[in-house]
Chains A and B, each alone.
Chain A
Amino acid sequence: MEKEALDAISVAVQEGDADKLVSAVTAALENLPPLDIIRNGMMIGLKKIGDMFGSGEIFLPEMLMAAEAFQEAMKVVEPKLIESGQTIESSGKVVFGTVVSDVHEIGKNIVITLMKTNGFDVLDLGANVSPTTFVAEAEKYGADVIAMSALMTTTMTYQKDTIDYLKEKGLRDKYIVLVGGGPVNPEWAEQIGADGSSDSAVGAVELATRLITNKRGGNPA
């Protein structure tokens, strides 16, 4: 019975069907603890969606719909979770934005969606984000990672500015800094002193996971 309910929740997430998911979650809350519903139902569905995206079986629209449905269901289950005094362990906290003078957001949005399906808490700073804003928001959010996207060769330079500003403030070692975007390659990441870059959303999530695990003293995959 419990398994059936959790499976139904997972399937509703994968289908990106918010109405179906909210009613399945509402019904399950009668019998199951909220943390169980999130961990063993909703997160399982989201993980499957992330895996399917990684293997090219589905694309951004399907992943976005699943993430939206997940958020709707969280509105129902989160108050119960708070009441229960339990919490969900985060994979890591990320502030993510497209650098100043660059308005291209799709690459960032794809990575953010995939990060969320993998249990990261992500603060989306949007586009045209200045170096000081990246750092101020990371401080406020208690971030593990600062992630910067740039689509143009002429905006990549602002990724370097943010890293330089972190150094000036003596904060460089506090954060994992990831860079990405159309023209960004590992050579550039190394040159500006970033912790890494990736060509793909899947690669970015794997990189963030590995670096956070390292930083927390865990065993890197």
Chain B
Amino acid sequence: MINFIDVCDRAATGPMMLQKDYDTKVFIPALRRAIKKYDIKYDRKELVNTDDTLADRIFEAAVEFYSEVGTYITDTERVIQFSKPEILEGVEDAPKEAYFGEGPDRCVMKGRMPDSDELPYCHVGSGTNTTEENALRLVESYARISKAKTISIPIINTLGHIRTAAGAPTEVFASIRAMQYGREGCRRAGRPGLGIIDHVSSASTGVSTIASSAPQFGARPSDGWLVSPFAELKTDYSSLNQTAYLTAWGANIGQEAGPILGGYAGGPEGLAIVNTAYSLHGILVIRATYHLIYPIHMTHVCSSHPDVLWATSLSTQAIARNMGVPYYTLLYAAAGAATKMYFDEALACLLMLIASGSGIEDVHPGRAKITDGCTPVDMEFTCQVGHACKGLTRKEADKLLKKIVPKYADKLADAPLGEKVDECYDLDYFKPKPHFEKLYAEVLEDIKSEFGIDLVRY
């Protein structure tokens, strides 16, 4: 695979263009050509793709598309380009396993095929944002979920009464404290070796990431660091600086991206290709050892919309069948926490992912717009579904989704706001408050009676 130093060289010497021209004259036309050439069509008959040949065409389309568009670097206004043979060599050489954590909590994330009997990788934490006061107890509550192999730790929005600000010293402090609370929360839960794989969620800049990753604050190379681009297929020197630092350290790097259905990717067909292309970008530019995608619908600001579900099922299968990289997906529900609609949306998302070959993470409630808007129950639910539904085939998942999605699809625009974690969950005793416990028991009963899925509480 091409060396990272050569990638940096291309960032400084590749073709120069305005960002607007990259979007409209390079990205959009190349995507349209790929959709046409590889005959990618969404017939709306399936919510979970069951066609292997279509999944493979998505991969071929993504390779061709990425060879034409590359990755745009905003600092230099240049495009890092790769030839098709370079891309395919990168796919061949990319890590197929990522190891996280230490001691008894050490685990491996690896690629998984569609319709697989293997247990899906269960990760929890879903990019919560919180106050400093709640951070430690939240991490402890996540780490207590025994079926979770790794966790994400919350973004800290406030230090006492002061809001943290990107690029400011408050962000450096918040990032360091998030790291410290993360490690301490795992220790309190009795899992000191648990891998934290969203470092450093409180850091939006390279300087905060690097500062808070110093080992004296608790970071270990067996954790994972997410390096994000911005829509679509663009990055900057701040992100490449993170990669340079983490590569030199030998730490796990996660490629993360949130492509937008309705944005530059266009409709579901384009989203499936762009989702897949992000993993190519991840391998070659970010030097990813693992991959995370979180596609979202532009209008509904969630991922449980049928168009996003289909596109994500397709790209997940394209990646699973043709790349085999460690891969998990974070999806967003429109409904807030502690509502029945949330669990309908989450179930649809998780079943699609399990059958398509992705690792799973708790579906984020309330369009990710609410501080303290996630609960540990969402995370337990994810692990319960993962364990109960391993071996689910795409055909079975499609059939189930055709019953689940109509329950919420016409309510997405006016989804209930739900509750904040303090309102529905007791963080002192690590259990749902009585009204949420009652609702959750009903949800589990409904899922068993309506869909025949028996979710065991661990």
Contacts and interface: CB of A to CB of B under 8 A. Distances in A.
A60 B262 contact: yes
Interface in B14-56: 19, 23-24, 28, 31-32
Given A56-B262, A61-B266, A157 B367 contact: no
A104 interface: yes
A110 B298 contact: yes
Nearest to B417: A185
A36 interface: no
A64 B155 CA distance: 34
B264 interface: yes
Contacts of B23: 64, 109
What's the interface size class on B, roughly? 35 or more
B28 A64 contact: yes
Interface string B133-146: 00000000000000
A103 B371 CA distance: 22
Interface in A57-111: 59-62, 64-65, 68, 100-106, 109-110
Nearest to B367: A199
A13 to B, nearest CB: 16
A199 B163 CA distance: 22
Contacts of A176: none
A105 B367 contact: no
A158 B164 CA distance: 10
Contact of B301 (A65, A100, A158, A200): A200
B126 interface: no
Which of B163, B265, B369 has the most C-beta atoms of chain A within 10 angstroms of its own C-beta? B369
Given A59-B266, A60-B264, A185-B369, A104 B299 contact: no
Contacts of B107: none
Interface stretch (A43-51, A135-143, A148-156): A148-156
Contacts, number: 96
A153 B129 contact: yes
A199 B260 CA distance: 14
B45 to A, nearest CB: 19
Contacts of B155: 153-154
A185 B368 CA distance: 10
Given A106-B230, A183-B129, A152 B204 contact: yes
Contact of B204 (A60, A155, A160, A185): A155
Interface stretch (B165-173, B309-317, B351-359, B377-385): B165-173
A202 interface: yes
A157 B28 CA distance: 33
B296 to A, nearest CB: 9
Nearest to A104: B230
A158 B163 CA distance: 10
B267 interface: yes
B279 to A, nearest CB: 20
A17 B140 CA distance: 57
Contacts of A153: 129, 155, 157, 371
A199 B174 CA distance: 27
Given A56-B299, A61-B266, A200-B301, A183 B368 contact: yes
Which of B74, B205, B266, B298 has the most C-beta atoms of chain A within 10 angstroms of its own C-beta? B298
B334 to A, nearest CB: 10
What's the interface size class on A, roughly? 20 to 34
B427 interface: no
Nearest to B235: A103
Nearest to A160: B163
Contacts of B369: 182-185, 199
Interface in B257-302: 260-267, 270, 298-299, 301
A104 B231 contact: yes
Contact of A157 (B163, B236, B262): B163
Given A68-B24, A154-B164, A60 B266 contact: yes
A185 B24 CA distance: 30
A201 interface: yes
Contacts of B265: 59
Contacts of A103: 74, 230, 236
B157 A154 contact: yes
Interface string B57-68: 000000000000
Contacts of B232: 106
Contacts of A60: 262-264, 266, 298
B230 A105 contact: yes
A110 B264 CA distance: 9
Contact of B263 (A65, A110, A202): A110
A160 B157 CA distance: 14
A154 B266 contact: no
Given A64-B23, A106-B232, A201-B298, A158 B165 contact: yes
B202 interface: yes
A106 B264 contact: yes
Interface in B195-248: 202, 204-205, 230-232, 236
Given A59-B261, A104-B231, A106-B232, 15 more contacts: A56-B262, A59-B266, A60-B266, A61-B28, A64-B24, A106-B231, A110-B298, A152-B166, A153-B371, A154-B174, A154-B204, A158-B165, A183-B129, A183-B369, A184-B369
Interface of B: 19, 23-24, 28, 31-32, 74, 129, 155, 157, 163-168, 171, 174, 202, 204-205, 230-232, 236, 260-267, 270, 298-299, 301, 367-371
13 contacts: A59-B265, A59-B267, A59-B270, A101-B204, A106-B231, A106-B264, A110-B262, A153-B157, A154-B157, A154-B204, A157-B164, A158-B165, A200-B299
- Across the A-B interface, the 4 shortest Cβ-Cβ residue pairs: A101-B166, A101-B167, A106-B231, A154-B166
